A and B are shown apart, each in its own frame.
Chain A
């Protein structure tokens, strides 16, 4: 069931949030700073999540471990 759809879906959500951040920050001396901060945070957090998610979609190797009896995971 692993597909790229969640990635695109979350991307749409994040883009929407970024637009909200741009539009709804009140005018004031800190407007640019707050806008930039919100948009950059959303973008960088999404990027990292996307990379982590996609790296695990179709893994090329499977984990293995040499378990000893009674050892906790």
Chain B
């Protein structure tokens, strides 16, 4: 396989590279590599506490900046009128590399701090002012209502308090006024006024009545407008109350009770003049407060608008900086030489790009020292990296969900591009439904560029991610729809049908006219009473045939793996017996199915035998084939041979591999090698370069020394592993073959559902005539279309998707897939926002 181009067949070849980066260039180099997105850095300080790492200070600063940015974002989101945030692709970038970088970051830090203090200050003052406004509004209400009370009281007691008729008498001197008060002391009821929650007013009254034994006069009215709490937005309704009582002790009790019930008391003067003065004062202060509040609001909004202009830019910078410093924390700080040592996995194909990126970073930062790149040899398993494009990405993801492929094993995602939509279509087969999902996928693909930028919600996002999968599913569904001859539960008559139905009053039996319908199921079966009998038999046999072929294909994928990883023993001990076992029973069944179909049974004297009974009899009573139920001459002999072949395969699988591995272990021990934690029993590979590096003190891959994997080659483990493998395969053969019958089951369900929908809706309304009939027909067609889309396409589609996926994951992958790799997660700024 040419190495010129990457292929989806295996994961990419990876190299472990060691970077020696001078400290001055470190930040810019990591930024450049992050933009490239091709290096997965390894942690060289695993034993170090995260709080003791070298760049903790920078990370703390970036975290502080990130917190401020998050605060701004939450403040903007809370605004009722939307504050526009300038999107990232529209903002001018902030330069974070090069000689001006440090200055820019410091400036950003200061700007963020300033914005935050201003915003917090404005928020606080807004809150205080709102509270003050509320109090003043209450006071105004109290003043107004108590004026009413006093007027009422006046009118009621005019005959007693004659000297009160003109309470605004201005010419009384201080002494006289006091005397006036004293003289009317017996009638002077001092009062307490305030506001209280409407819900509490009755309790308040009752408590006061009990406490003061009725020695009070209370009056209260509703305040019509509710008070809205600015922070939470809840409304509270309050009442104004005024309580007249006599004596200091009583008044004190009233005040205590009022405070305990959560009422607010306001000092109201008995004098009407003073009250009107207070009222004017309160109104004036209220107006001032309103103006100040309005101005603060306007200022806050302009501040938020300014922040909104830059917010996306700041978020981007802060996120990148944090990622850069976290990565730099993974490096080993070689103080002696003022360089940072980093190790990372890089796809071998991209080495040239990395070199260029490093040189570019040095040029940007203005120094002349280029970071050094060295390849390290290691026996650690590299990560699995499969290079995908927007088309293959979806298919690779659904196969990766089962398990990441082991490094450089055959990638089932490549074949799933076609087999997955095909198996889906076998379960979905309907031309009309296939066209619906095809056009839905086409629409999403045309909207690709626009939708990729938007934040799609979860469900739509999932469908959009799999748009190419859905596209292929639609295409194959149209093909299988043609095969099943099913379009919205009707069939097409494109070619001559092979069945002629004679006119008959009762039951009409079709007569074959010799034509074979060339492409698909004959439309003569559509609507026949025994149509299902035929299609069921056809679909069941088709499922078995397709299943055995799919499993054989998956089994054959073992071969490239065994060849690549130099395991010839596995070919003879695993692959060959597995093939023989599978085919001596189920391959034979497939051949019999095809053979039985190809015989004209009308020319034979025997009845066509049931293949299921034949298979059961082959296993339960080998060698005995009833002459009347014979499929072909010599059958009993061949079946016995096949059965014996299958039976030999079981001990073959169980014993061959353990035996050879045991012999190998004996040989190694016999030659005197002592186990030093080696993986394959071979000597440690040391190239000249590595030894040189060891002399200079750079050492081998630092990470490798710290994580030594000890694989115990216990013989018992090998035997157990092989037993499990054999049992799993043999039992799996039978159960997986039967599992493919779901291809039949789901396509039957789909066809029946489609037919029922048609016959229960449109068919019933087709015969109606007249204007009402037409309107009803139109409505029923709309209903039928909606039910088709939601039930048949979406629900059945998801179901078939799931089952096709299961077939790939369990039935196919278990034949060849190891799936023990870990995926390649490079430092990539483009993927940062995906992670969040």
Indicate whether A64 sits within 8 Å of B529 (C-beta atoms), given known contacts A29-B6, A52-B520.
Answer: yes
Q: Which of B503-542 contact A (CB under 8 A)?
A: 504-512, 514, 516-522, 524-531, 533-534, 537-538, 541-542
In angstroms, Cα B525 to Cα A57, docked, is 14
In angstroms, Cα B416 to Cα A44, docked, is 12
Assess whether A40 is in contact with B499, with CB atoms less than 8 Å apart.
no
Assess whether B507 is in contact with A65, with CB atoms less than 8 Å apart.
yes
In angstroms, Cα B602 to Cα A8, docked, is 23
Mask: chain A, 34-55; 1 = CB below 8 Å from B; 0 = not: 0011001100110111011111
Residues of chain B lying within 8 A (CB to CB) of residue A1:
514, 516
Q: Does B294 contact A (CB under 8 A)?
A: no
Residues of chain B lying within 8 A (CB to CB) of residue A48:
426, 479-480, 483, 542, 546
Assess whether B517 is in contact with A56, with CB atoms less than 8 Å apart.
yes
Assess whether A47 is in contact with B479, with CB atoms less than 8 Å apart.
no
Residues of chain A lying within 8 A (CB to CB) of residue B518:
6, 53
Indicate whether A64 sits within 8 Å of B507 (C-beta atoms), given known contacts A40-B415, A47-B546, A51-B541.
Answer: yes
Q: How large is the interface on B (under 10, 10 to 19, 20 to 34, 35 or more residues)?
A: 35 or more
Q: Which of A1-36 contact B (CB under 8 A)?
A: 1-2, 4, 6, 27-33, 36
- Closest-by-CB residue of A relative to B503 is A67
Q: Which of B1-58 contact A (CB under 8 A)?
A: 2, 4-9
- Closest-by-CB residue of B relative to A73 is B527
Q: How many residues of A contact B (CB 8 A)?
A: 39
Assess whether A36 is in contact with B541, with CB atoms less than 8 Å apart.
no
Assess whether B598 is in contact with A57, with CB atoms less than 8 Å apart.
yes
Assess whether B483 is in contact with A64, with CB atoms less than 8 Å apart.
no
Nearest Cβ in chain B — how far from A61, in angstroms?
6
Nearest Cβ in chain B — how far from A43, in angstroms?
9
Indicate whether A64 sits within 8 Å of B508 (C-beta atoms), given known contacts A36-B418, A47-B549.
Answer: yes
Indicate whether A33 sits within 8 Å of B534 (C-beta atoms), given known contacts A56-B516, A65-B528.
Answer: no
Assess whether A2 is in contact with B600, with CB atoms less than 8 Å apart.
yes
CB < 8 Å: which of B6, B525, B527, B602 contacts A58?
B602
Nearest Cβ in chain A — how far from B751, in angstroms?
15
Mask: chain B, 369-397; 1 = CB below 8 Å from A; 0 = not: 00000000000000000010100100000
- Closest-by-CB residue of B relative to A32 is B7
Assess whether A66 is in contact with B534, with CB atoms less than 8 Å apart.
no
Indicate whether A47 sits within 8 Å of B545 (C-beta atoms), given known contacts A56-B498, A59-B534.
Answer: yes
- Closest-by-CB residue of B relative to A4 is B598
Nearest Cβ in chain B — how far from A26, in angstroms?
11
Nearest Cβ in chain B — how far from A11, in angstroms?
12
Q: Which of B533-570 contact A (CB under 8 A)?
A: 533-534, 537-538, 541-542, 545-546, 549
In angstroms, Cα B594 to Cα A27, docked, is 38
Residues of chain A lying within 8 A (CB to CB) of residue B8:
32-33, 36
In angstroms, Cα B519 to Cα A41, docked, is 17
Assess whether A67 is in contact with B598, with CB atoms less than 8 Å apart.
no
Assess whether A57 is in contact with B597, with CB atoms less than 8 Å apart.
yes
Assess whether A60 is in contact with B601, with CB atoms less than 8 Å apart.
yes
Nearest Cβ in chain B — how far from A70, in angstroms?
11
In angstroms, Cα B414 to Cα A52, docked, is 27
- Closest-by-CB residue of A relative to B528 is A63
Q: Does B662 contact A (CB under 8 A)?
A: no
CB < 8 Å: which of A2, A33, A57 contacts B392?
A33
Assess whether A62 is in contact with B597, with CB atoms less than 8 Å apart.
no
Assess whether B531 is in contact with A58, with CB atoms less than 8 Å apart.
no
Assess whether A64 is in contact with B426, with CB atoms less than 8 Å apart.
no
Assess whether A33 is in contact with B545, with CB atoms less than 8 Å apart.
no
- Closest-by-CB residue of B relative to A63 is B528
Assess whether A44 is in contact with B419, with CB atoms less than 8 Å apart.
yes
Assess whether B531 is in contact with A60, with CB atoms less than 8 Å apart.
no
- Closest-by-CB residue of A relative to B506 is A66
In angstroms, Cα B510 to Cα A37, docked, is 41
In angstroms, Cα B271 to Cα A26, docked, is 103
Q: Which of B652-705 contact A (CB under 8 A)?
A: none
Indicate whether A67 sits within 8 Å of B516 (C-beta atoms), given known contacts A28-B5, A36-B417, A48-B426.
Answer: no
Q: Does B622 contact A (CB under 8 A)?
A: no
In angstroms, Cα B607 to Cα A60, docked, is 10
Q: Does B422 contact A (CB under 8 A)?
A: yes
Q: Does B608 contact A (CB under 8 A)?
A: yes
Nearest Cβ in chain B — how far from A57, in angstroms?
6
- Using A51-B542, A62-B509, A67-B508 as known contacts, list a sample of 6 further A-B pairs with CB atoms less than 8 Å apart, ordered by residue number in A: A29-B5, A44-B422, A53-B518, A62-B510, A65-B528, A66-B529
Q: List 9 tightest A-B contacts by C-beta distance, closest first.
A: A63-B528, A40-B418, A32-B7, A54-B597, A55-B538, A64-B509, A44-B422, A58-B600, A51-B542
A-B contact pairs, 21 of them (CB 8 A): A30-B389, A33-B7, A44-B418, A44-B419, A48-B546, A51-B545, A52-B520, A53-B516, A55-B541, A56-B521, A56-B522, A59-B534, A62-B499, A63-B499, A63-B528, A63-B529, A63-B531, A64-B508, A64-B509, A65-B508, A73-B527
